[in-house]
């Protein structure tokens, strides 16, 4: 297990963690969340051994293999398949030893190494690497291309594939979905759900966290707090804890005010001086409870357009693409009116971005008609626009260039809604993070009073707070909205219609995102070569069905028992959290409450012992489930 105790971690003058504690058990899948700069990536570096504690301990099992997704984008002189295979360092080491043994003609060593190759599944490694690449959106013909031929976003996908290729007991993934489309995210969810090791995941995608993790670790106020469940469960528990904290803060503030009033009134009186002095000491000992700050730093709207027409835009009998005679999309009919809210779904490369580029005239039509209203005002967001920001100009200067007659304070107030405040308004964009550049690009669009928003992956690099603020602003937007996004929460909370872009067509999709996930699975099956007729796996289907039925008969009660254990563990966790709240009350440690305190501490000890036993049984069940499900070919 991972055990962190009384950990203090500091980077330069900034203290990220102080006396932090955390225990994670093998097989847990954990989401790591917290504000930007709270220390998430530093904690990953600590687990990898790249940082060392300033105080306290961080202990991992000695024999654990750790895999992580590299954030560096380099371009080694090799093809995509070899780059992914490099992720399995153990396999590569055996292969290098094998070359040397063959040169020496060392028969004994060759025998040992060939046995190790077999143990490392070397003979299936190429197929496994290709499966990873296919899941992440690479076409078969791209897998032999040189790494330096891919763009930065696709190289990040290669980094992710390399991390997944590495056999590991602990997998560390930092924002793995940033450069993925929805199709690849759905595939990655399925892969991670079946990953047998311990997973630590940094992500700003709440639906992705809900689908993959069973626990959340929140970094806040230099502490690590563990919550059961996914992100939605964390939000509920966090809100309840903040309410309790606020109540405790108000109660403590009243106690302090009462003590200070007593001291002020009676400190000078000889008869009361001793009591007043005891209250001074009590006041000094009283731990200051911080008030709960739950306000988002973001609060903005898209300014209302001056004029609106209906329809805003009409696309009729259009052919879209890059080369005449080779359209990506054909016979496209699309009308956008004020209030329309359409999310575009479809496989990678099917033409979603092509459609948006054609609407903004970045890509001329190959055929057909595009009619725009005279009052059309487009707000267009795409990742390449971040590069068009002036690196030497500040956020304020960007605004002053487009709003020359507006007062500076009005512009500063508007920028403040996007969390550009004080000196940050005047600093050049050059040193801004990807998230800050995206916020500035969105701010410029929001100021421009658009009546049609075209948003192509607007949430890349945005944290959870900004994503929520964007969702709220889009809900209030009165114009038309066309969205391409891998953020399912944003789609569900802001969109009314889903359109499918696939097989050279654009058509309305009659279903929800779950239906799209099923459609996508069917689509992938249709894309596979049909070689069933010659497959040896089809020879004895009756025997296979009988064996599968027998395994399923064992599986059902085991799964039911495992689910029961998990619910019991969740209940124990809730009881422990309730006890922690009770034990945080300072009044409980006074002499009259001594018996009550003992009772609470005894309950806490019993619950902790029960938790350990249940977790041991639960983990054993999970191992047995994994074994049975792997025989069935199912995800764990």
Can you give the residue range of the structural domain that contains 567? 541-631
Quote the distance between the C-alpha of residue 160 and its chain's center: 14
Whether residue 121 is found in the same domain as residue 193: yes
∠ Cα 62 67 69 (to 5°): 150
Let me know if residue 343 belongs to a domain: yes
* Separation in Å, CA 254 to CA 247, 258, 278, 279: 11, 6, 18, 14
Whether residue 357 is found in the same domain as residue 271: no
Residue 315, strand partner residues: 334, 370
Per-residue pLDDT, averaged over 251-265, amounts to 68
Query: In this model, does residue 518 exceed pLDDT 50?
Result: yes
- pLDDT digit string (tens) for 360-408? 988 899 999 999 999 999 999 987 878 889 999 999 999 999 999 899 9
Report the distance separating Cα 214 and Cα 569, nearest Å. Answer: 12
Let me know if residue 562 belongs to a domain: yes
Let me know if residue 516 belongs to a domain: no
Let me know if residue 198 belongs to a domain: yes
Cis ω on the peptide bond leading into residue 123 (within 30° of 0)? no
Query: In this model, does residue 118 exceed pLDDT 50?
Result: yes
Q: Per the structure block, which two tokens stand in for 98?
A: 């094998």
Least reliable range by pLDDT among 35-44, 60-69, 277-286, 475-484: 277-286
Whether residue 432 is found in the same domain as residue 322: yes
Whether residue 116 is found in the same domain as residue 245: no
Fill in the DSSP letter of residue 289: P
Domain boundary residue, one of 235, 257, 277:
235
Report the distance separating Cα 322 and Cα 210, nearest Å. Answer: 39
Report helix, strand or coil for 479. Answer: coil
Q: Residues 6 or more apart from 131 whose CB is under 8 A from it?
A: none
Whether residue 502 is found in the same domain as residue 546: no
Token pair 């296919």 is found at 134
Packed helices 408-416 and 434-447: angle between N→C axes, nearest 10 degrees: 130
- pLDDT digit string (tens) for 78-108? 889 989 998 888 888 888 888 888 888 877 8
Q: Residues 6 or more apart from 258 whose CB is under 8 A from it?
A: none
CB 32 within 8 A of CB 213: no
Whether residue 227 is found in the same domain as residue 353: no
Report the distance separating Cα 558 and Cα 622, nearest Å. Answer: 9
Whether residue 204 is found in the same domain as residue 262: no
pLDDT range class, residue 613, cuts 50, 70, 90: confident
Per-residue pLDDT, averaged over 10-22, amounts to 86
Let me know if residue 11 belongs to a domain: yes
Whether residue 211 is found in the same domain as residue 344: no
Quote the distance between the C-alpha of residue 397 and its chain's center: 33
Report the distance separating Cα 16 and Cα 8, nearest Å. Answer: 8
Least reliable range by pLDDT among 78-92, 164-178, 278-292, 399-413: 278-292
Q: Residues 6 or more apart from 9 whose CB is under 8 A from it?
A: 15, 16, 17, 20, 39, 42, 43, 46, 51, 53, 54
Whether residue 79 is found in the same domain as residue 208: yes
- pLDDT digit string (tens) for 60-75? 888 889 999 888 777 6
Query: Domain tally for the chain?
Result: 4
- pLDDT digit string (tens) for 534-543? 343 433 444 4
Whether residue 95 is found in the same domain as residue 141: yes
Provide the CATH number for the domain around residue 328.
3.40.50.300
Whether residue 495 is found in the same domain as residue 557: no
Let me know if residue 532 belongs to a domain: no
Let me know if residue 518 belongs to a domain: no
Whether residue 447 is found in the same domain as residue 545: no
Packed helices 513-527 and 182-193: angle between N→C axes, nearest 10 degrees: 90
């Amino acid at each position: 297990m991972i055990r962190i105790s009384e950990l203090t971690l500091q980077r330069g003058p900034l203290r990220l963690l102080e006396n932090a504690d955390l225990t994670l058990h093998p097989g847990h899948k954990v989401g790591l969340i917290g504000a930007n700069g709270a220390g998430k990536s530093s904690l990953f570096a600590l687990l990898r051994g790249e940082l060392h504690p300033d105080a306290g301990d961080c202990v991992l099992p000695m024999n654990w293999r750790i895999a992580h997704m590299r954030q560096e984008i380099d371009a080694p002189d090799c093809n995509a398949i070899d780059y992914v295979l490099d992720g399995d360092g153990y396999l590569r080491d055996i292969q290098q030893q094998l070359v040397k043994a063959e040169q020496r003609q060392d028969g004994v060593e060759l025998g040992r190494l060939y046995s190790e190759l077999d143990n490392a599944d070397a003979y299936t490694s190429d197929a496994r690497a290709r499966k990873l690449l296919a899941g992440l959106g690479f076409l078969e013909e791209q897998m032999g291309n040189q790494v330096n031929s891919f763009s930065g976003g696709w190289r990040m996908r290669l980094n992710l594939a390399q991390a997944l290729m590495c056999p590991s007991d602990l997998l560390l993934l930092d924002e793995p979905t940033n450069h993925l489309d929805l199709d690849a995210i759905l595939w990655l969810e399925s892969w991670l759900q079946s990953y047998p090791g311990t997973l630590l995941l940094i992500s700003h995608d709440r639906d992705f966290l809900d689908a993959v993790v069973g626990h959340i670790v929140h970094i806040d106020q230099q502490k690590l707090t563990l919550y059961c469940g996914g992100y939605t469960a964390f939000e509920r528990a966090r809100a309840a804890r903040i309410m309790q904290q606020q109540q405790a803060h108000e109660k403590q503030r009243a106690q302090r005010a009462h003590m200070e009033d007593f001291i002020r009134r009676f400190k000078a009186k000889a008869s009361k001086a001793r009591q007043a002095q005891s209250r001074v000491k009590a006041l000094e000992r009283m731990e200051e409870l911080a008030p709960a700050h739950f306000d988002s730093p973001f609060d903005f709207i898209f300014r209302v357009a001056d004029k609106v027409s209906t329809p805003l835009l009409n696309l009729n009998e259009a052919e879209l693409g890059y080369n005449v005679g080779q359209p990506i999309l054909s016979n496209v009919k699309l009308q956008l009116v004020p209030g329309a809210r359409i999310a575009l779904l479809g496989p990678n490369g099917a033409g979603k971005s092509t459609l948006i580029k054609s609407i903004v005239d970045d890509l001329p039509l190959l055929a057909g008609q595009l009619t725009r209203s005279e009052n059309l005002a487009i707000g267009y967001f795409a990742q390449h626009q971040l590069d068009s920001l002036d690196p030497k100009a500040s956020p304020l200067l960007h605004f002053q260039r487009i709003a020359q007659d507006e007062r500076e304070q009005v512009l500063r107030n508007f920028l403040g809604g996007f969390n550009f405040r004080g000196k940050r308004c005047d600093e050049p964009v050059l040193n801004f993070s990807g998230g800050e550049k995206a916020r500035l690009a969105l701010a410029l669009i929001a100021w421009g009073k658009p009546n049609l928003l075209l948003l192509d992956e607007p949430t890349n690099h945005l944290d959870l707070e900004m994503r929520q603020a964007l969702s709220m602003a889009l809900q209030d937007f009165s114009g038309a909205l066309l969205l391409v996004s891998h953020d399912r929460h944003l789609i569900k909370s802001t969109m009314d219609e889903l359109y499918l872009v696939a097989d050279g067509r654009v058509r309305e999709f009659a279903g929800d995102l779950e239906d799209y996930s099923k459609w996508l699975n069917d689509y992938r099956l249709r894309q596979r070569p049909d070689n069933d007729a010659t497959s040896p796996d089809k020879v004895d289907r009756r025997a296979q069905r009988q064996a599968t039925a027998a395994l399923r008969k064992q599986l059902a009660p085991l799964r039911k028992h495992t689910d029961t254990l998990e619910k019991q563990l969740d209940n124990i966790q809730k009881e422990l959290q309730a006890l922690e709240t009770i034990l945080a009350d300072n009044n409980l440690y006074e002499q009259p409450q001594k018996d009550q305190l003992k009772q609470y501490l005894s309950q806490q000890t019993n619950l902790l012992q029960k938790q350990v036993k249940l977790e041991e049984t639960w983990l054993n069940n999970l191992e047995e489930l994994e074994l049975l499900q792997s025989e069935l070919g199912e995800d764990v």
